[in-house]
Amino acid sequence: MKSKSTEDVYEFVRRVARHQGWELNPDDAFLKDVVEGLKTNYNRHGYFLCPCRDGEGDRAADRDIICPCVYNVPDQNEYGHCFCALFLSREFAKRGGVPEPIPERRPE
Ligand code: SF4
Q: What beta strand segments (E) does the chain contain? A: 23-24, 87-88
C-alpha 81 to ligand 1 mean position (Å): 9
Whether residue 100 is contained in a domain is answered as: no
C-alpha 1 to ligand 1 mean position (Å): 22
Percent of the chain with pLDDT over 90: 98
Domains in the chain: how many in total?
1
* pLDDT reported for residue 1: 80
What is the residue range of 19's domain? 6-94
Asked if 25 and 92 count as a contact pair (C-beta separation under 8 A), the reply is no
Which whole number is the average pLDDT over 10-19? 98
pLDDT tens-digit readout, 39-82: 999 999 999 999 999 999 999 999 999 999 999 999 999 999 99
Q: What CATH number is associated with residue 10?
A: 3.90.460.10
- The residue whose C-alpha atom lies closest to atom 4 belonging to ligand 1 is 50
Is residue 90 over pLDDT 90?
Answer: yes
C-alpha 68 to ligand 1 mean position (Å): 5
Side-chain-side CA neighbours of 26 within 13 Å: the count stands at 10
Quickly state the pLDDT bin for 9 (edges 50, 70, 90): very high
Is residue 98 over pLDDT 90?
Answer: yes
Whether residue 17 is contained in a domain is answered as: yes
Whether residue 1 is contained in a domain is answered as: no
Whether residue 102 is contained in a domain is answered as: no
Quickly state the pLDDT bin for 6 (edges 50, 70, 90): very high
Angle formed by the axes of helices 28-45 and 6-20, nearest 10°:
110
